[in-house]
Amino acid sequence: MTIATTNEPRCWIGCLQCYNEGRLVGDWYAATEAAEVTTSQLHGRPIPEHTHEELWCLDTDCIPVHREMDPAEAARWGEIHAEVGDDMWPALCAWVRSGSYVAEGDTDFPVLSDFEDRYCGSGWDSFQDYAEGLAEDIGLLSEVPESLQSYFDMQSWARDLAFDYVTERDTDGTLHIFRSY
């Protein structure tokens, strides 16, 4: 038995033939195992070949796209989770949910190298807070005499800066910030 991590993608795999006959036969599996689940395993008894073989993920958990999917697709999400790590998974899911992310070809799968390049972090109350921290880090006002710095319109600067960023909140309210390019 594997120990489930907090954010590990899971899917409820069901048998489509049973489903069409009005019986809900299936179970929850870790997404990483989804592609290997056999029809006999799913039904808990040996199933004759070429029958009841169409398995489908009818529900998912901790996968950032919300729709039914092929078990192979769920397995790919499981691989991506393993690759990026459980700690970074909420940030990656937020990036995908924002809709403004880089996907592999015409799939919904995110490109991890772009994610790593663009993710700025989380933990700020607002984008304004992030912008103020950034202004400090880059020494935006270092040439401006201190007595004049309060005249700088930080809000307006942050507003313009926001065009180059994507922000997305988690269900727990955590704000994730990403560069747009």
Closest listed residue to residue 62, CA positions, set 34, 41, 40: 34
Query: Dihedral of the CA atoms 129, 131, 136, 138 (nearest 10)?
Result: 160
Within 8 A by CB and 6+ apart from 121, the residues are 176, 177
- Tell me, residue by residue from 50 to 69, as one string, x for binding to Zn ion by CB under 5 A and - for no binding: --x-----------------
Q: How far is the CB of 68 from Zn ion (least distance, A)?
A: 16
State yes or no: residue 177 binds Zn ion (CB under 5 A).
Answer: no
Instruction: For strands 10-15 and 55-61, give the pairing.
Output: antiparallel
Q: How far is the CB of 52 from Zn ion (least distance, A)?
A: 3
Residue nearest to Zn ion (CB): 15
Tell me which H or E stretch contains 97.
Answer: helix 89-98
Give whole-number Cα distances, 136 to 132, 142, 151, 164, in Å.
6, 9, 16, 18
Q: Which is nearer to Zn ion, 39 or 167 (CB)?
A: 39
Q: How far is the CB of 105 from Zn ion (least distance, A)?
A: 33
Q: Which is nearer to Zn ion, 9 or 14 (CB)?
A: 14
Sites for Zn ion among residues 8-47 (CB under 5 A):
15, 17-18, 25
Tell me how crowded residue 96 is: count the other CB atoms within 10 A of its CB. Answer: 20
- Compute how many residues bind Zn ion; rule: CB under 5 A: 5
Q: Which is nearer to Zn ion, 56 or 119 (CB)?
A: 56
Q: How far is the CB of 60 from Zn ion (least distance, A)?
A: 20
Q: Which is nearer to Zn ion, 15 or 62 (CB)?
A: 15
Closest listed residue to residue 158, CA positions, set 112, 127, 113, 114: 127
Q: How far is the CB of 134 from Zn ion (least distance, A)?
A: 55
Q: How far apart are CA 53 and CA 56, in angstroms?
A: 10
Footprint on this chain of Zn ion (rule: CB under 5 A): 15, 17-18, 25, 52
